[in-house]
Amino acid sequence: MSAAPRTLAAVEPAPREELVQLCAFQVGGEEYVLDIMRIREILAPQRITPVPHAPPFVVGVINLRGAIIPVVDLRERLGVPVTAPTRRTRLLIALIGTRKVALVVDAVTEVVRIPRAEIKPAPALLNAGGPKFFVGVCGQRERLKLLLNVRALLDSSVKVPGAELRALATAQASNEEGETP
């Protein structure tokens, strides 16, 4: 298949050659990315006040300069072991619309700057039959990173596809990387 024809959309998303910046982070040994424009702050872990009867992945709230923000442990949400905080553990303060959510991650790794066109669709295996938690994949063969749909992660009580499924899917995507599109 030849290169995708260039079309102008009615409402303008970033043109496919435009560089996007993605903040990459690690959860349970795998790498994910979020749009860097969504990340307001990156904090060292701080005291989290638990709230009774919250769903398992909402570990509580923090007080961020006066605002009370719910904290989602991405390790719990993605079904990976929650290890004790290390020096690399961070709280990502993510914006969804005007609301903030704090996400606990094992480490923040880098900012990836790539043309939007280099983002490939997520393997269908990952999103089968449920909300689209992973909206794409980027990166080199050995270091594929999944694009997270943070809103789906927070809205849904559907379990996120587990680690084995993700490993299988990224292996599959990794193989496809080597093929000509």
Partner 1 sequence: MREAPADPLDAFFYRPDEDPGEIPDINADAQPIPVPEESPRELLSFELAGEEYAVDIHRIREIVKVPPITEVPRAPVDVLGVMSLRGEVIPVFDLRRRLGLPPADDEPSKRARVLVIDAGEGTSGVLVDRVAQVVRLKPSSIEATPQGLGPGVQPEYLAGIGRVKNRMYILLDIRATLANAGKVRA
Binding site for partner 1 (CB under 8 A): 1, 4-5, 7, 9-10, 13-14, 20, 34-35, 37-38, 49-56, 58, 61, 63, 67-70, 95-101, 116, 119, 121, 132, 135-136, 147-149, 151, 154-155, 157, 181
Nearer to partner 1, 53 or 87 (CB): 53
Nearer to partner 1, 99 or 159 (CB): 99
Nearer to partner 1, 7 or 164 (CB): 7
Burial class (CB in 10 A: 0-12, 13-18, 19+), 132: middle
Closest distance of CB 112 from partner 1, Å: 13
Closest distance of CB 161 from partner 1, Å: 17
Q: Which residues contact 33 (CB under 8 A, 6 or more apart)?
A: 22, 23, 24, 25, 112, 138, 145, 146, 147, 148
Cα 17 to its chain centre, rounded Å, is 22
Closest distance of CB 159 from partner 1, Å: 14
Closest distance of CB 25 from partner 1, Å: 15
Q: Which residues contact 134 (CB under 8 A, 6 or more apart)?
A: 122, 126, 127, 146, 147, 148, 149, 161
